[in-house]
Amino acid sequence: MSGLPLQNVRWEKFCQAYVRGATAGNATACYVAAGFAEDATQASARAAACRLLNKPIIRARFAELQADLVEVEQRAVTTAADRLSLSKQLVLGQIARLGFANVLDYVRRDDDGNIVIDLGAVNRDEAAGIVELSMTERGEGPDRVSRMRIRLCDRHAPLVSLGKHFGLFADKQEDQNPLRHLSADELWRHNAELQAKIDRLRGPQAAGQNSATQAVSAGETVSTTNVNESRGVNQS
């Protein structure tokens, strides 16, 4: 925290106004707001404000007040983060209570071995899984019969939410490449179609060059085949 305020009240006002508020960073406006020479000209007020800014005691007070602002901002950030973390914990806790609600938590066996609903030992958090509670009574006096009915929440959605939060479900990305499932012949035809489209876009000259290239490639293949055949003749 900052030290004690300056003994000169107007100097302290000047420092406070320079650090925070509408006049922050404007030395001349802070000088006037602090009560210095209200009837002074703009030029004289600016010069006096500059002289005041250069005083060591003023600059030291600036540093103290600015450190206060930083501390306040850090405290606010920490408080906001704590509140956000607390909110996340509350939400996750409530989702967990819904997802793991079990009917056995709300029933017991009586002395005759019958299963009855017993909410006497259920606390507030455990009761979160109950979304409906109804009671009906029939008869009068000793013949009166009371019935209690509870309905638990759908646990699927809360469990899915928890699973997603903890990264239990890996997103399966479908294969978006249609060429992956084509055979060799289908890939060859697909490639030929693409080459034909490219030739049409490039124009007749490019198509002619491509044909010449294909002819040369074919000639090389034939020549290689002939050489192999002649080698076979010589060997025989």
d(CA 87, CA 81): 10
The pTM for the full model equals 0.35
pLDDT of residue 177: 63
d(CA 226, CA 201): 37
d(CA 64, CA 15): 10
**What percentage of the chain has pLDDT greater than the value 90?**
3
The mean pLDDT value for 103-117 works out to 83
Answer for the pair 22, 2: CB distance below 8 angstroms, yes or no: no
pLDDT at 222 over 80: no
Query: How far is residue 93 CA from its own chain's centroid?
Result: 20
Among the ranges given (95-104, 118-127, 212-221), the one the predictor scored with the smallest mean pLDDT = 212-221
pLDDT of residue 217: 42
- Domain boundaries along the sequence of the chain: 9-88, 103-154, 183-214
Q: Is 132 helix (H, G, I), strand (E, B) or coil?
A: strand
d(CA 128, CA 53): 62
Q: Is 211 helix (H, G, I), strand (E, B) or coil?
A: helix
pLDDT of residue 233: 42
Among the ranges given (15-29, 39-53, 123-137, 187-201), the one the predictor scored with the smallest mean pLDDT = 187-201
Among the ranges given (112-126, 137-151, 198-212), the one the predictor scored with the smallest mean pLDDT = 198-212
Question: Smallest Cα–Cα separation from 130: which of 150, 104, 105?
Answer: 150
Burial 52-76 (b: 16+ CB within 10 A, else e): beeeeebeebeeebeeeeeeeeeee
The mean pLDDT value for 89-105 works out to 82
The mean pLDDT value for 53-67 works out to 89
| Residue 57 neighbours by CB under 8 Å, 6+ apart | 6, 11
Cα distances from 61 to residues 13, 25, 32, 46, 224, in angstroms, run: 11, 14, 18, 20, 92
Answer for the pair 34, 11: CB distance below 8 angstroms, yes or no: yes
Highest average pLDDT, of 45-54, 105-114, 131-140, 165-174, comes from: 45-54
| Residue 131 neighbours by CB under 8 Å, 6+ apart | 151, 152, 153
